[in-house]
């Protein structure tokens, strides 16, 4: 996939403006967190059926005495979309539709404490990552697909086929997830999304926390490979979401014309 690199400082006025109306990687996990979808047992049943297991074997794997009758199960087996976007995702889609029409960010450049802290600490995080990895990390600003529909604030690009994401969490549950559970899943959509947009093969996920410097643990980092199966499913969800944004935009423009 071809992509564009927009050189701008994250958090700047230009950065907010270029993001307006674009579906960004930081929201991919929100978009994909659908409601009214399959539960765990239904998922096991559907996966078994799709893997070619008999109906009886699928029931045994999932723990059913009788085959599930939910409409969502039939849709999943037929390869149709299951679940619906949450209210949070729908509100985000509507905001994007408004921003497409105005060309300006609807939030007027709002930044909360966590966002400000991340922007302030990111240069230090990048420097620490370079020191520990021996790599040179190029600042990227904002990257987006050639059509400008999807974008990401890629924190760094590493030649020839890698990139990096820096998080500066201070919430104990997030620090524990990385340092104790070795679990960066909360940012995996963002990392795989960046690889999808840029076509790169690996992404460095880094957690920077100056409070842990005394213990020598100011930087947690790992390199993750591009997962094309993961990306294929993610792309399908994102294109479906784009359709929702398109629909909202069309309805707003029709009302405007009336």
Q: With b meaning 16 or more CB within 10 Å and e meaning fewer, what string describes 216-231?
A: eebbbbeebebeeeee
Does pLDDT of 140 surpass 90? Answer: no
Q: How many CA atoms lie within 13 A of 207 on its CB side?
A: 23
3-33+87-257, CATH topology level: Lambda Exonuclease; Chain A (3.90.320)
pLDDT in tens, 1-59: 689 999 888 888 899 999 999 999 999 999 998 888 888 899 999 999 999 999 999 99
Question: For residues 254 and 97, is the Cβ–Cβ distance under 8 A?
Answer: no
Is the confidence at residue 108, as pLDDT, over 70? no
pLDDT of 183 > 70? The answer is yes
**Mean pLDDT (whole number) for 172-193:** 94
So what's the pLDDT on residue 110? 59
Q: Which of 204, 209, 183, 188 lies closest to 125, judged by CA? A: 209
Banded pLDDT at 109 (limits 50, 70, 90):
low
């Amino acid at each position: 996939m071809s992509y564009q690199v927009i050189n701008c400082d994250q958090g700047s006025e230009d950065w907010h403006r270029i993001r307006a109306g674009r579906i960004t990687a930081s929201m991919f996990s929100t978009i994909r967190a659908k409601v009214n979808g399959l539960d765990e047992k239904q998922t096991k049943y559907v996966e078994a059926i799709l893997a070619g297991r008999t109906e009886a074997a699928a029931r045994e794997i999932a723990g059913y005495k009788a085959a599930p009758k939910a409409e969502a199960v039939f849709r999943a087996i037929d390869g149709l979309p299951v679940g619906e976007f949450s209210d949070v995702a729908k509100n985000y889609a509507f905001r994007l539709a408004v921003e497409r029409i105005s060309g300006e960010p609807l939030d007027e450049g709002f930044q909360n404490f966590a966002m400000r802290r991340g922007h302030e600490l990111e240069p230090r995080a990048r420097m620490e990552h370079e020191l520990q990895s021996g790599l040179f990390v190029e600042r990227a600003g904002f990257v987006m697909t050639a059509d400008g529909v999807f974008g990401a604030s890629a924190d760094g690009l590493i030649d020839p086929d890698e990139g990096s994401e820096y998080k500066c969490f201070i919430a104990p549950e997030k620090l524990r997830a990385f340092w104790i559970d070795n679990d960066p899943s909360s940012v995996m959509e963002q990392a795989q999304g960046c690889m999808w947009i840029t076509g790169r093969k690996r992404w460095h996920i880094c957690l920077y926390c100056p409070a842990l410097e005394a213990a020598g643990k100011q930087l947690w980092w790992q390199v993750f490979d591009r997962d094309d199966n993961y990306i294929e499913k993610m792309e399908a969800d994102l294109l479906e979401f784009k359709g929702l944004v398109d629909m909202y935009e069309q309805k707003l423009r029709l009302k405007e014309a009336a």
